[in-house]
Structure 1
Amino acid sequence: MKKSLQQMNIWLLSSIIIFISYILFLIYPIVTILKQALFVDGHLSLDNFLTFFSKEYYFETLFNSFKVSVVATVLSLVVGTLLAYCFAMFRFKGKKVLQILVIIASMSAPFVGAYSWILLLGRNGVITKWLSSALGFPKLDIYGFSGIVLVFTLQLFPLVFLYVSGALKSMDNSLLEAAESMGVKGIKRLTHIVLPLLVPTLLAAALLVFMRAFSDFGTPMLIGEGYRTFPVLVYSQFISEVGGNSAFASALAIIAISIALIIFLIQKYVAQKNSFSMSSLHSIEPKAIHGWQKFFIYLGVYGVIALSVLPQTYLIYTSFLKTSGMIFVPGYSLDSYRQAFDRMGTSILNTLRIPLMALVLVLIFATFISYLSVRKRNPFTSLIDSMSMIPYIVPGTVLGIAFITAFNTGIGGSGFLAIIGTSFVMIVSLSVRRLPYTIRSSVASLHQISPSIEEAAASLGSSRLNTFAKITIPMMMSGIISGAILSWITMISELSTSILLYNVNTKTMTVAIYTEVLRGNYGIAAALSTLLTGFTVLSLLLFMKVSKSDSISM
């Protein structure tokens, strides 16, 4: 009885610790900015919200964000789905390498892609100058709406590819064979058989892509120029308010959270209405391709992937060029790397040190939360599971503002738990933001483990805690590792929260790249971007080695 009570207390204690952590580092900061937005001079007021909705300038900015996010989401769904379909249905050379290239395109920071496209298609870009001088084309304009959509699409379609690839692995080949026997082939098979089965997956992918596009401010900041987006507005308003009243910036943050929550609830409702499960007794077998079909598939697959990795490829190339500020001069040199290590060595170290400590927290919390939400499900653990999804929909800029407001002792701060300016706040912010990836992956893995295995261990005298540590965790390790790698890669490429929370001692590579681009030090920015890409590639190769898989999917 005493032993059973101790085990119960362990799970209850872990639930309480997790709940308190979310209250302190998620709910409290959001409530703090809500309070700051609603109270003007100590009195309840909606003036900040009325200011936003009464001025066309602000409302137009919100509409711009919706417009660019929706277009980028639709294009990402089309490109990602078609690419995953080709990978699943047809045999062609280089699949493993191509898939790694797709992931690299996905996991790089969006603003890095924006910076690369400026070098390629900007007013003085390499491709722009070549088209103008060699072919007489008018100068291309990468800036504004079209440039933002291009960068978002090429950076986010791989997420759709990963989701759809995972779903296609669960699709039984007999369905396609039956359809083919009835004369349903080619495009008709894709639109009438495959796509309807992919609806839940496409909805999940669409939400992720939309939220990533809607919350990103680095890309619009670099190439948006006159095209204003909501995250840029939130960031600029908050920065301009530092040292004074930041109530309006807080109101913008609350509006962003509300919009994200509404979109998330709509997606969840539609997904539940269209949800179903698939089990694959006979997985899809890729078929050989010949003739014109082979030509178009190779052209499409290799062309899209080449376009998506072109920015990173060109950045790697330029990192070895001699530079003078914003100008690349003839000749090759390692000076950019020397300067990067001399001036940004601490940033490189921080990019490994801070996310690594955050990853440890993510692994611990994700493992316990997933187990509590699946095996110990009750109203309290369900609440914890729901709270864990909040960072999934809260834009990074908003979370950064919330942390500064809640944990800053300066003017405009609450004065409670003064951690702004420390490594700890960076670690916590990364952990909170990227925890949902590992939780969802761990939950999916745990659902595939039959409770009867744990019951068998208990019948042999193993305690629940011992069973959890020595049987359950090893069995769900593939899901934990998969989610952890995704969390890790998104941590090292994080910008939107870090740009607000960093100081000279906690600056990361993404912040350093961003600041060097703004200063016109393109060589150093290219060298740092290349190192970041190298970290991403090594992480992916490590994942594939540990998981013993030649493919990656969600």
Structure 2
Amino acid sequence: MKILRDNWLLFSIVALMICGLTIIVPQLRLMAASLLDEGGRFTLLHNKDGLQSVPEMTSRYTVAKAASGLSVSLNATKDLSVEVENDRTLRLTALQALVVGKDEAGALELAFGQTRFSLSQQAPRGLFATAAPAPLEIKAQSVNSVLLSHAANAYITFENKALSVSAVHYLDFFTRSETLSATFNSLLIALVSTGLAAMIGVSLAYLVARYQVAGSTAIVFLVTMASVSPPFLGAYAWRLLLGRNGVLTSYFGWDISIVGLHGVIWVITWLVFPIIFLLSHTSFQSLDAGHIEAAESLGAKPSYVRLSVEIPLALPGIITGLYLATMAALSDFGTPRIIGLDVNALPVLIYTSFLSEAGRNPALAATGSVVLITISSLFLMAQQIYLARRGFAVVASRALERKRLSSLGHALVLIGVSLALLMAFTPHLTVLVSSFMEWRVGLPRANFTLANYTTMLSTGLGPAWVTLSLGIAGTLAASALGLGIAYVIIRKRYRVIAPVLSLTVMMPYVIPGTVLGIGLIMMFNKAPLQLTGTWFILALAYLIRNLPFTVKASEAALRRVHPALEEAALSLGARPLRVFVTITAPLVLAGAVTGATLTFLHIVTELSSTIVLYRPPWKPMTAVIFENTLVDADFGVSAAQTILLMLIIYVPLYFIVRYGQIQGKSGG
């Protein structure tokens, strides 16, 4: 068979099946959960005071008083009449024939027409009661009438478990003030923080790229470091500094607090500014000198050249940076959760609706997930349409010479860059100082100590080993699978499989982490694929969430390798697999290392999917640190754990950047 003879075709099919099972199917299940509506339920209480309905335990059905009892209706259509026969018996009457049976769980079932009710009862027992309450029993009286016997003072529940396709969850979502405010807040946070970050990032990127600024290489390196900081670190540190009882607010006696919507926007602005800076800086550096010189030779003023030539030509990088920053802000779970408190945002609403012990509402979580994915997809479509409708290509490119700044101008640029870096690294500095301070009752004391690190080491490094094992395993798996998929897309180009595979592996990029985690739980929560609560579901989530990085990095590297090198080896009789392993893979190693590094950094700092999926003992460091910030825990030990996490992040990043493997970061 052709499939068996072509190893790459077989790999493509297997890869597509894996991606479909872990990416597409869970999202389809989420969509189905948002569109499926249960039939509803109602509960009746029959005691010495008579028969009455229990509104708190009734949904969709309307139970009203009638001349001889109660009338139960759905959508204004009378379904059932309930009358009191005696103190332990009710008479049920329907317009259609009543059929008595049992459901799959062995509970009594009452069916008529398309409706099937599963019956259950709750009967309170006295303190010294020893006998079990009388069970539910049904006895047919006629074709459309039955007698229901029950225990004394029983709450009797009729639950219609039939599922139907309905938009009721979406109607509920867009008519409830809670969900509307969460959606509005998420959009406001994303757009305002991205706008502020753009003003800072694009301006500084232009100055550093187009002018001779002292230490420009170090500036880019520091911004790169800031771009991979843990997403919840800023919220944790700024709350520690400027919370109601923060270090600075208490020391200076300020009656202010950063906690709230304004604090979320402030923290996320400095979280996403490095993304915009790096991509804008790359775009400004790659501008063609010929275009600018042509405009200047025609007498255009520098300000006009900047606005009409330089910025428009750099728009691909700027727009991409804005999109990535918006996605990072929109899907951020940790910051609103830590510093927002009463601020309702979509990722937090989805999480609490799905996992909260009180008020759990999986249907609302599924609907919110679909809404969040839709918003993310609309932003992506807007970015793609804008870039596709405009041309940015140049025939040839000649590097620009950096302009000299006046002494005052140079000083102002350095001050601006320093302030931006100070804001970006304030969380890192705060955590570093906090880790060496003594903490009592949640407040720091100006005593230098190593006790926090001693406590961290004595309580075990289990979370660190979990983080490292997941980081290494997820990186290796994503790198191997991503390189293979990139080879299929660039070299093999199968007519159907290649484009479908390319589209599928990019889907996790627009799926927020909380949504991805909920989809995986729905998919792998039952045998034979029961992975929920294990190490493997975390590794799987990290693998598929980071495939876009490894695939795109490998694609870029493969485009720089001429196919003639592979064709020469094939013409000499080498097998395709050997050609790939001995020729192609070594040539794309630099690009693969770039993708692998980004993958590792994202895995060890991942929070949004982790907080949904982890279960003890498989608890990564991000989950430990995040939970400690939400309770009255020892902030010194949490700070020491954060420093350990930062070392895990920055040590490999330093060596990769130092030896030229990464020139910037293209994702958030």
Aligned equivalent of 1:445, options 557, 581, 590 = 557
Look up the equivalent residue of 1:26 and give its one-letter code: I
Structure 1 residues 184 and 318 mapped into 2: Cα distance closer, same or farther (>3 Å)? farther
- Distance in 1, matches of 2:545 and 2:266, equals 26
Measured after TM superposition, the shift of residue 463 of structure 1 is: 3.7
Structure 1 residues 14 and 189 mapped into 2: Cα distance closer, same or farther (>3 Å)? same
Q: Does residue 16 of the first structure (1) align with residue 4 of the second (2)?
A: no
Deviates more, 1:72-81 or 1:177-186: 177-186
- Distance in 2, matches of 1:502 and 1:20, equals 25
> Which runs of no fewer than 5 residues in structure 1 stay unpaired?
410-414
- Distance in 1, matches of 2:387 and 2:396, equals 21
Which structure shows the bigger proportion of residues in helix conformation?
A: 1
1:118-148 CA-to-partner distances (Å, cap 9, x unmatched) read 1222223333345x45xxxx53331222211
Is the Cα–Cα contact under 8 Å of residues 104 and 309 in structure 1 kept in the other structure? no
The TM-score normalised by the length of structure 2 is: 0.77
1:100-127 CA-to-partner distances (Å, cap 9, x unmatched) read 3212222112211111001222223333
Measured after TM superposition, the shift of residue 328 of structure 1 is: 0.8
Is the Cα–Cα contact under 8 Å of residues 272 and 325 in structure 2 kept in the other structure? yes
Is the Cα–Cα contact under 8 Å of residues 168 and 284 in structure 1 kept in the other structure? no
- Distance in 2, matches of 1:94 and 1:283, equals 20
Look up the equivalent residue of 2:447 and give its one-letter code: G
Structure 1 residues 184 and 194 mapped into 2: Cα distance closer, same or farther (>3 Å)? same
Q: Does residue 104 of the first structure (1) align with residue 225 of the second (2)?
A: yes
Identity level (%): 31
Q: Does residue 408 of the first structure (1) align with residue 408 of the second (2)?
A: no
Deviates more, 1:420-429 or 1:114-123: 114-123
- Distance in 2, matches of 1:358 and 1:81, equals 33
Measured after TM superposition, the shift of residue 52 of structure 1 is: 0.6
Look up the equivalent residue of 1:447 and give its one-letter code: R
Deviates more, 1:141-150 or 1:160-169: 160-169
Aligned equivalent of 1:351, options 467, 470, 473 = 467
Q: Does residue 372 of the first structure (1) align with residue 488 of the second (2)?
A: yes
> Which runs of no fewer than 5 residues in structure 2 stay unpaired?
39-160
Measured after TM superposition, the shift of residue 522 of structure 1 is: 1.0
Aligned equivalent of 1:490, options 602, 607, 617 = 602
Look up the match of 2:567.
455
- Distance in 1, matches of 2:366 and 2:553, equals 32
Q: Does residue 93 of the first structure (1) align with residue 205 of the second (2)?
A: no
Measured after TM superposition, the shift of residue 343 of structure 1 is: 2.8
Secondary structure, counterpart of 2:6 in structure 1 = helix
Structure 1 residues 184 and 449 mapped into 2: Cα distance closer, same or farther (>3 Å)? farther
- Distance in 2, matches of 1:126 and 1:372, equals 55
- Distance in 2, matches of 1:509 and 1:241, equals 23
- Distance in 2, matches of 1:506 and 1:87, equals 44
- Distance in 2, matches of 1:427 and 1:344, equals 22
Measured after TM superposition, the shift of residue 179 of structure 1 is: 3.5
Is the Cα–Cα contact under 8 Å of residues 52 and 59 in structure 1 kept in the other structure? yes
Aligned residues: 540
Is the Cα–Cα contact under 8 Å of residues 628 and 638 in structure 2 kept in the other structure? yes
1:261-304 CA-to-partner distances (Å, cap 9, x unmatched) read 22222222222212533476432333333322112111111111
Measured after TM superposition, the shift of residue 494 of structure 1 is: 0.3
Matches within 5 A, 1:39-58: 39=36, 40=38, 41=161, 42-58=163-179
Structure 1 residues 279 and 441 mapped into 2: Cα distance closer, same or farther (>3 Å)? farther
Structure 1 residues 217 and 244 mapped into 2: Cα distance closer, same or farther (>3 Å)? closer
Look up the match of 1:323.
439
Is the Cα–Cα contact under 8 Å of residues 3 and 9 in structure 2 kept in the other structure? no
Aligned equivalent of 1:418, options 505, 513, 530 = 530
Look up the match of 1:412.
none
Matches within 5 A, 1:149-168: 149-168=265-284
Is the Cα–Cα contact under 8 Å of residues 81 and 160 in structure 1 kept in the other structure? yes
Look up the equivalent residue of 1:547 and give its one-letter code: G
Secondary structure, counterpart of 1:505 in structure 2 = coil
- Distance in 2, matches of 1:56 and 1:243, equals 16
- Give the alignment's Cα RMSD to 1 decimal: 2.3
Which structure shows the bigger proportion of residues in strand conformation?
A: 2
Aligned equivalent of 1:399, options 493, 513, 516 = 516
Is the Cα–Cα contact under 8 Å of residues 354 and 360 in structure 2 kept in the other structure? no
Is the Cα–Cα contact under 8 Å of residues 13 and 497 in structure 2 kept in the other structure? no
Structure 1 residues 226 and 6 mapped into 2: Cα distance closer, same or farther (>3 Å)? closer
Matches within 5 A, 1:134-283: 138-184=254-300, 186-240=302-356, 246-278=362-394, 281-283=397-399
- Distance in 1, matches of 2:497 and 2:256, equals 56
Look up the match of 1:32.
29
- Distance in 2, matches of 1:31 and 1:19, equals 16
Q: Does residue 386 of the first structure (1) align with residue 469 of the second (2)?
A: no
Measured after TM superposition, the shift of residue 259 of structure 1 is: 2.1
- Distance in 2, matches of 1:466 and 1:328, equals 60
Q: Does residue 288 of the first structure (1) align with residue 401 of the second (2)?
A: no
Aligned equivalent of 2:612, options 500, 506, 510 = 500
Is the Cα–Cα contact under 8 Å of residues 85 and 165 in structure 1 kept in the other structure? yes
- Distance in 2, matches of 1:87 and 1:8, equals 54
Secondary structure, counterpart of 1:512 in structure 2 = helix
Secondary structure, counterpart of 2:608 in structure 1 = coil
Look up the equivalent residue of 1:10 and give its one-letter code: N
1:167-200 CA-to-partner distances (Å, cap 9, x unmatched) read 2343223333334444546544332222101222
Measured after TM superposition, the shift of residue 545 of structure 1 is: 4.0
Say which structure, 1 or 2, has more relative contact order (CA 8 Å, 6+ apart).
Answer: 1
Aligned equivalent of 1:81, options 202, 208, 212 = 202
Look up the equivalent residue of 2:262 and give its one-letter code: S
Measured after TM superposition, the shift of residue 6 of structure 1 is: 8.3
Measured after TM superposition, the shift of residue 97 of structure 1 is: 3.0
Is the Cα–Cα contact under 8 Å of residues 61 and 229 in structure 1 kept in the other structure? yes
Measured after TM superposition, the shift of residue 60 of structure 1 is: 1.9
Deviates more, 1:259-268 or 1:52-61: 259-268
Look up the match of 1:541.
654
Is the Cα–Cα contact under 8 Å of residues 83 and 161 in structure 1 kept in the other structure? yes
Measured after TM superposition, the shift of residue 25 of structure 1 is: 1.1
Structure 1 residues 256 and 246 mapped into 2: Cα distance closer, same or farther (>3 Å)? same
Look up the equivalent residue of 1:151 and give its one-letter code: V
Measured after TM superposition, the shift of residue 423 of structure 1 is: 0.7
Look up the match of 1:509.
621
Look up the equivalent residue of 2:614 and give its one-letter code: Y
Deviates more, 1:516-525 or 1:285-294: 285-294
Measured after TM superposition, the shift of residue 232 of structure 1 is: 0.9
Look up the equivalent residue of 1:371 and give its one-letter code: Y
Deviates more, 1:9-18 or 1:462-471: 462-471
1:35-87 CA-to-partner distances (Å, cap 9, x unmatched) read 22222232222222221112122112101111110111222222222222222
1:353-374 CA-to-partner distances (Å, cap 9, x unmatched) read 1111000111011101111111
Look up the equivalent residue of 1:20 and give its one-letter code: M
Aligned equivalent of 1:116, options 212, 218, 237 = 237
Indicate the structure (1 or 2) with the bigger Cα radius of gyration.
2
Deviates more, 1:185-194 or 1:488-497: 185-194
- Distance in 2, matches of 1:475 and 1:192, equals 40
Measured after TM superposition, the shift of residue 230 of structure 1 is: 0.9
The TM-score normalised by the length of structure 1 is: 0.92
Look up the equivalent residue of 2:166 and give its one-letter code: S
Is the Cα–Cα contact under 8 Å of residues 88 and 285 in structure 1 kept in the other structure? no
Structure 1 residues 205 and 248 mapped into 2: Cα distance closer, same or farther (>3 Å)? same
Structure 1 residues 214 and 84 mapped into 2: Cα distance closer, same or farther (>3 Å)? same
Secondary structure, counterpart of 1:454 in structure 2 = helix
Look up the match of 1:527.
640
